[in-house]
Amino acid sequence: MSADATVAAAAEAMGRLVIDVPDFPEPGILFKDISPVLADHDAFTAIVEALASAGRDDSGATVVDKVVGMESRGFILGAPVALALGVGFVPVRKEGKLPRETYAVSYDLEYGQATLEIHTDAIEAGERVLLVDDVLATGGTVAATRRLVERCGGVNHAVSVLMELGALPGRDAVGELPLTVLATV
């Protein structure tokens, strides 16, 4: 399947299976529940392939050295993307979860504030990195993760997300990086 056809199949599955949950985890938030997509083997396969396409060149060769996934749905998505690309996976975790020396960056969420951390030795200098998460909302998570990759000496290559909340300025955090989005909602 071509990269475009892969993204189209994934987008169709997203439109069919993602469930909107109003007022979760607090009033005013329309939560995007992706668990039905994960529970459907064909849909899960399609979205992993589509997210991974950002880590390949036109000939299909892998052009990244690591996939970084942000806690916690970025783990579920990023780990199979890393395997599909034949590269390693690096978790970016919430404060206090990683057991060894970390770099830390604080950021604003759509709902609340948080700090993200990465192991200082998780990415080698010059390694190219694909960032994977489920939802791009305010862009705070992506912006913080970009800074963590840079602190390690890595090079941010591209960002892949299932959904972009079109009413929010998340795209600004992605800046000049290529952005793969399967659905704008």
Active site residues: 73, 110
* By CB under 6 A, residue 139 contacts ligand AMP: yes
Interface positions, 17-56, toward ligand AMP (CB under 6 A): 29-32
Q: Which tokens sit at 128?
A: 């190219």
Supply the minimum distance, in Å, between the C-beta of residue 64 and ligand AMP: 20
Q: How many CB atoms lie within 10 A of CB 168?
A: 15
- Name the amino acid, one letter, at 43: A
Q: Which tokens sit at 28?
A: 């005013």
* By CB under 6 A, residue 164 contacts ligand AMP: no
Supply the minimum distance, in Å, between the C-beta of residue 54 and ligand AMP: 17
- Name the amino acid, one letter, at 128: R
Supply the minimum distance, in Å, between the C-beta of residue 97 and ligand AMP: 15
Report the residue number, 23 or 124, with the smaller CB distance to ligand AMP: 23
Helix (H) or strand (E) holding 30: strand 30-33
Q: C-alpha dihedral over 71, 72, 77, 83, to 10 degrees?
A: 60
Q: Of residues 109, 121, 124, 153, which one binds ligand AMP by CB under 6 A?
A: 109
Q: Of residues 7, 118, 136, 158, which one binds ligand AMP by CB under 6 A?
A: 136
* By CB under 6 A, residue 133 contacts ligand AMP: yes
| Cβ atoms of 151 and 103 closer than 8 Å | yes
Residues 82-100, buried b or exposed e (16+ Cβ, 10 A)? bebbebebbbbbeeeebee
Contact residues for ligand AMP (CB under 6 A)? 29-32, 70, 73, 109-110, 133-141, 170
